[in-house]
Structure 1
Amino acid sequence: MSQPGERIETTHDAEKELLTLRADCQQCFALCCVVPAFAASADFAINKRAGHACPHLQSDFRCGIHTTLRQRGFRGCTVYDCFGAGQKVSRLTFEGHDWRASPQTAQQMFAVFPVMRDLHELLWYVTTALILPAAEPLYADLRHAQSEIKHLTRHSPEELLALDMTAYRQTINTLLVRASELVRAGVRGKKKDHRGADLIGARLKGSDLRGANLRGALLIGADLRNANLKLADLTGADLRDADLRGADLSESIFLIQSQLEAAKGDSKTKLPSSLRYPWHWSNETQ
């Protein structure tokens, strides 16, 4: 068992680490505008093939319609989060050689980016777990995992492409599930288990979902107004168009910014201090 001072230091270090896991588009070669494919839908106005630049990408690697993405039908772009993988690949892995100036490295860079993003996402979850007091019994294992992932992100392109990310993700996920169980055990009584459940359009207004397992749940368009989601595990939950107005997510665990960007909410929605209110919430019709 760690001492109080050690817990405070662990939390402080974790909070600083999370700040490094944010996208810095000015340090990236717009990899998210090139690498992924997308199809014309409610999230994207056009079709785009993987590895091909979006037509709105400018020569300086900036988006030509960044301030009007939602209005122009590119909502999907506004909810994407690379967790800082873009600048890592651009500035560290490929040492600042961009894919336009060095076309011979383009395909390798495009292949490395999804691997790095997966590693950075895992690093975000592991680091977040180190801020959860109830997960203290796992702090040593979490710190080891954190160090290991950070080491992997410094690998060469060839080494990164050789990683078995499916197996590695499962290993880290097992640790994160244990952390989730420790945290959610703080809620008394039987907790709802909706892991991977199809809750599309579900009427959950005012529901008591404290300590619920909502990992991977499909909550697209669900009515979660005024729901209590304290200590609920929202890892990978699909919150597209979910109505979170007045909901209490102040202590929800493993909730990420992109999930909020995809949802609907208002000033009465309670969020963890590490996350921000999406700007479009104040502009949506209530």
Structure 2
Amino acid sequence: MSEHHESAAPPPGATRLALVSDCGNCFGLCCVALAYAASADFAIDKPAGRPCPNLAQDFRCGIHRELRGRGFQGCTVYDCFGAGQKVSQQTFGGRDWRTAPDTAASMFAVFPVMRGLHELLWYIAEALDLPRARPVHAELRAVQEETESLTALAPEDLAALDVSAHRDRVNRLLLRASELVRAEFPGKKKDRRGADLMGARLRGADLRGANLRGAFLIAADLTGADLRLADLIGADFRDARLSGADLTEAFFLTQAQVNAAKGDATTRIPPSLTRPAHW
């Protein structure tokens, strides 16, 4: 899946910059380490650890410009939050799995762990940019430092790391930050956490300050909806219609979520993200 996705525009600050995917400095890890099944997102089955047949010897995608037309829409949506280049260039010191095959198994095991840590760092950095979340900023900075230290572990220690337990700790702080931010709309804090909104008709909906954490918004009609200051962490936006929707102040929204949706020139997105080329 290397050299495929719409990368987020680098936000200010070294931490956020390091969390933007740089496929040119990665050994195509998402194209090898991850498994996928033939579906609407992928044209073929591929087990974890086997290189995608479209991966070239220089670790670039051989059908990069044709991915959607060739049935690999899932590749255009995926984002590793910079974990690929971190594992390739720092954890393994620039040794690639082709010329140093003894690193392959360990590298492929470490990649999803690093990706999980980098995603957490993205959310933490965003929470630290939210002025209304200032009461928890000190705790967030502490957990940010801890998470960054985990990304520097040796390969064997990274592979053994319990990311889920660490994520639970971080998520408690992110939830507190979310509550502080969304408190601006005390009468509008719609709780749709984990809600099944697949195909829902939400055209023009006022969702300001809504809790949409983990909501299933697959193919939902959000045309013209107002999602400012909505918590969108983990919300599934696959094929959701976002024409005219306002997500400018929505938080915990990622590039992968935006890539998966159907927007256009009238869709307003946060400045830290990039408008997908396929919109």
What TM-score comes out, normalization by structure 2 length? 0.95
2:59 is matched with: 61
1:10-89 map, 5 Å: 15-89=13-87
- The alignment of Structure 1 onto Structure 2 pairs a total of residues equal to 269
2:151 is matched with: 153
What does the per-residue CA deviation read over 1:7-37, in whole Å, with 9 as the maximum and x for residues that have no partner? xxxxxx9644212111111111000000111
User: Equivalent pairs: percent with the same residue?
Assistant: 64
How far residue 190 of structure 1 moved from its aligned partner, in angstroms, is 3.7
1:101-112 map, 5 Å: 101-112=99-110
How far residue 187 of structure 1 moved from its aligned partner, in angstroms, is 1.4
Q: Judge conservation of contact 1:14–1:127 (CA < 8 Å) in 2.
A: no
What does the per-residue CA deviation read over 1:199-218, in whole Å, with 9 as the maximum and x for residues that have no partner? 00000001110000000000
SS of corresponding position for 2:204? coil
1:1-286 map, 5 Å: 15-281=13-279
How far residue 188 of structure 1 moved from its aligned partner, in angstroms, is 3.4
SS of corresponding position for 2:278? helix
Matched residue type, 1:152: L
Q: Judge conservation of contact 2:188–2:208 (CA < 8 Å) in 1.
A: no
Matched residue type, 2:137: Y
What does the per-residue CA deviation read over 1:76-132, in whole Å, with 9 as the maximum and x for residues that have no partner? 001110000001101111111111111111101100001000000000100111100
SS of corresponding position for 2:107? helix
How far residue 139 of structure 1 moved from its aligned partner, in angstroms, is 1.0
Matched residue type, 2:24: Q
Greater displacement, 239-248 / 66-75: 66-75
Misfit runs of 4+, over 3 Å: 13-16
The alignment's C-alpha RMSD in Å is 1.1
1:8 is matched with: none
Matched residue type, 1:203: R
Q: Which of 1 and 2 has higher RCO (CA within 8 Å, sep 6+)? A: 2
What TM-score comes out, normalization by structure 1 length? 0.92
Q: Judge conservation of contact 1:79–1:259 (CA < 8 Å) in 2.
A: yes
Q: Judge conservation of contact 2:110–2:155 (CA < 8 Å) in 1.
A: yes
- The runs of 5 or more residues in structure 1 that have no matched partner are 1-12, 282-286
